[in-house]
Amino acid sequence: MKDLTNSFGHLFHPVKALLIYQKDAYGHNNEFYIESFDMDNQGCPTNAHPLSVKEANKLARSLQVNEKKARGFLNPKGLMPVNVLYLKSSADGFAVWHTPPQNIKLLFIERLGIPSGLVNLPALVWRAGKNSLQVFAVAKTTYQEDTPLCHAPFFNIYADGRVCMGNVQIRIPKDCGLEEFMVLWQDYFFNSYFSHLFDSHQPVKGNIVQLWQSLMATPQPFPNEVLITNRLQLSHLIK
């Protein structure tokens, strides 16, 4: 058995219930009466009474805070970061950005026989929403709508670029700004252990285990010639 308690997020307890009455049952009259219920220790409604002004003001403040958080999601702190390719800054928005070839630490599970450590990566393109991440590689870093995308040369990624984060707990704040959003997703990705391939998907030419074993032993740049195009272009990520 696996303890999943920490995956549930914050636990909310019922403290108030509202019952809304409308004068015209068919919805032709805008006159309402709102009855408020307190909740006992068992989560059952009790103490029915008309909604008070104090309760209404508290509810309004709570709604305003949530609305403000939603408006702040994916908003940049200042000028748009130069590596952002596309942005939809709404409550259900997403961002597309790129990172240059870089030297970074990767983690591998022991049974793969690949030592964890610093290694050179190709240029990458990221597409992330609040709960999901896709990662691709690019051989040419000229970003246009028709820029061809390649499979990211990693384990734990499906053929369509979706990343399986395993047991990593994703916690993106509702009011997360754009810069923090990109940093968080990259940290989640690079701090998870690579372990396996999906559905016989081969993300690189040749043996991926041998590829990373050889890369860990050399300071040379990532060999882009092993990348495989996946029929997607950058334009497919902004729909």
Beta carbons within 10 angstroms of residue 163's beta carbon: 21
Task: Tell me the two tokens of residue 81.
Answer: 């970061």
Q: Are 119 and 99 in contact (CB under 8 A)?
A: no
Query: What is the structure's pLDDT at 11?
Result: 59
Task: Tell me the two tokens of residue 83.
Answer: 């590596």
Beta carbons within 10 angstroms of residue 65's beta carbon: 12
* H/E segment holding residue 39: strand 32-39
Q: Are 96 and 86 in contact (CB under 8 A)?
A: yes
Does residue 134 sit in helix, strand or coil?
A: strand
Query: What is the structure's pLDDT at 8?
Result: 40
Query: What is the structure's pLDDT at 136?
Result: 98
Instruction: Tell me whether strands 84-88 and 45-50 are parallel, antiparallel or unpaired.
Output: unpaired
Distance CA 104, CA 114 (A): 15
Q: Are 234 and 179 in contact (CB under 8 A)?
A: no
Helices (H), the chain: 53-72, 178-190, 208-216
Query: What is the structure's pLDDT at 177?
Result: 93
Query: What is the structure's pLDDT at 7?
Result: 40
The sign of the torsion formed by the CA atoms of 166, 171, 176, 179 equals negative
Distance CA 154, CA 140 (A): 18
Q: What is the pLDDT along the chain (239 residues), one digit of tens a residue?
A: 344 444 444 556 787 888 877 777 665 666 777 888 888 887 788 888 887 877 766 665 554 445 444 456 899 988 999 999 999 987 789 999 999 999 999 999 999 999 999 999 999 999 999 999 999 999 988 999 999 999 999 999 999 999 998 878 899 998 899 999 999 999 999 999 999 999 889 999 999 999 999 999 999 999 999 999 999 999 999 87
Distance CA 185, CA 165 (A): 10
What are the residue boundaries of the structural domains of the chain, listed by start? 10-72, 84-238
Q: What angle do CA 88, 146, 148 make, to 5 degrees?
A: 100
What is the Cα Rg of the chain in Å? 24
Query: What is the structure's pLDDT at 71?
Result: 58
Q: Are 126 and 85 in contact (CB under 8 A)?
A: no
Q: Are 112 and 194 in contact (CB under 8 A)?
A: yes
* H/E segment holding residue 86: strand 84-88
Distance CA 120, CA 212 (A): 10
